[in-house]
Structure 1
């Protein structure tokens, strides 16, 4: 890639950069609405599962911002030549946030197990939840700090990858697999057990309670996300043996990574009525305020006309 020019002269990489930028940018307003909705409703705000989901939302929107910057780097390759250390930090941050989603999903799945089978209160943090979250946060933080210091993540063409020339990069790549697949298996097994629990509850009670609907919504969202993550990891780590490595192939894999944020937001809105209603309420309020602002001048004019009429009388 010629890195001295301002705009990328490679039309293929330029188009890929624009696609990355647009794909990433369109998800920002959606997450603003979702995060606002989860913070606005008391029942969602106090629910541990939704706190974890909101943490996942923050990770996703931050990843989207990193992907947005990736597009900028491809459009303007001067960044790679002039501030490569910053470019690598962005890549390391995106990868670390991606790893954080596995930790959050694993804690979310075990939390749902606790609620389904061990009568854990959905609004109260258990000690094991806090310990798991702290351990996960410490691990993710260390991965990020070491990655930023050693600069072990680089942008090669349209794709992010570990720089195997950097010390310990191969170790971190192996640790990534060691983290991802066990947490995915834990999530899958947890959701199978939760499905069984929901099936039993449905047999006992013919009516579908609101709490059960909430469980099903979280289950559907988490199951689809877990499946998507498993497929992405599988394709990502087997791409070289399965596909011909071209810019198109690498860009397609990266777009699948970018679209994870879109999938999470769509599923959260689609499977949760409370979130949908809260988002609709925002639009209804804005529509009502616009309607009121239109009526205000008219009412002012009509009142003025009434005063004038009375004075004439």
Structure 2
């Protein structure tokens, strides 16, 4: 189940990265914004929905790690409650996608994406996104603090050293990802924090930086998987080694055949 949740997160982030890439020409050629306005809004809605889905799945993974550390469930087990929660998450995300595609509430205003506040209920969806973001991030932080306590204060004699190292690597990976996402959410909504009131969101340079951080977010998790997960790193290196050292079969043709 752990790897399923991690793969879901990877898929959501990959989808965001692909849509960023597909819509990137519209940042350069302004005429595309008018010609493909509906398509861009639909893609933006799907991309934003993948971003929203990122957060509850990360929180679910963090809570799931606690159950594994406490030996309540196995790392490969998929409890019924987890299936129900995942179903609720994706039902909500599907509703957001459908509502967004119908109302066209996401638009690209180069160089950044955002809610079109002229569209009905766009402000409501924006507010719900903020509440969902901070709720999920709070759950993730609390869960990771509990995991840290379990690692350093409670030694589980039934878990092997290899298993514990694996759990710690996942902890480090998603602690960094959670911190990065938290920073991204905070700078995306500077008006909510008086400390960040100096950030001018109308400045195009600041908008470009924020958008760049969002794009970078799509690649943080895969890179950290290579850094902290030895087995995945070895599989990638072995695959690259086989590809670069693949020898094509040589066909020897005798002179008698040629002549």
Length-normalised TM-score, structure 2 = 0.90
Instruction: Give the number of the structure whose alpha-carbon radius of gyration is greater.
Output: 1
SS of residue in 2 equivalent to 1:154: strand
- Deviation track 1:192-229 (CA, whole Å, cap 9, x = no partner) reads 11111111355969x97111111111111110111111
Show the counterpart of 1:246.
203
Moved more, 97-106 or 77-86: 77-86
1:242 is displaced (CA, Å) by 2.7
**2: CA distance, partners of 1:71 / 1:242:** 28
- The correspondence of residues 37-48 of structure 1 with structure 2, limited to 5 A, is 48=1
- SS of 2:113's partner is strand
Matching residue of 2:182: 230
**Partner-residue secondary structure (3-state), 2:245:** helix
Counterparts of 2:198 and 2:85 in 1: how far apart (Å)?
Answer: 36
C-alpha distance in 2, partners of 1:88/1:261? 20
What residue in structure 2 maps to residue 31 of structure 1? none
> Secondary structure of 1:215's partner?
helix
**1:127 counterpart residue number:** 80
Q: Deviations over 1:278-302 (max 9, x none)?
A: 111211221331xx32xx43x847x
Listed one character per residue, the Cα deviations across residues 234-285 of structure 1 (whole Å, up to 9, x for unaligned) are 1110168332321111010000000001211111110100110111121122
* Residues 81-137 of structure 1: CA deviation (Å, up to 9, x unaligned): 112111111111111110011021011111111111242011110011101100000
| Structure 2 counterpart of 1:103 | 56
2:136 equivalent in structure 1: 183
Structure 2: runs of 5+ lacking an equivalent: none
Q: Match of 1:37?
A: none
Pick aligned residue for 1:284 from 216, 237, 241 = 241
Instruction: Give unmatched runs, 5+ long, in structure 1.
Output: 1-47, 308-313
Q: Which residue of 2 aligns with 1:275?
A: 232
RMSD over equivalenced CA pairs, Å: 2.2
- Taking the aligned partners of 1:230 and 1:208, their CA distance within structure 2 comes to 33
Q: Which runs of 4+ in 1 moved over 6 A?
A: none
1:86-165 matched pairs, under 5 angstroms: 86-165=39-118
Match of 2:25 among 72, 89, 105: 72
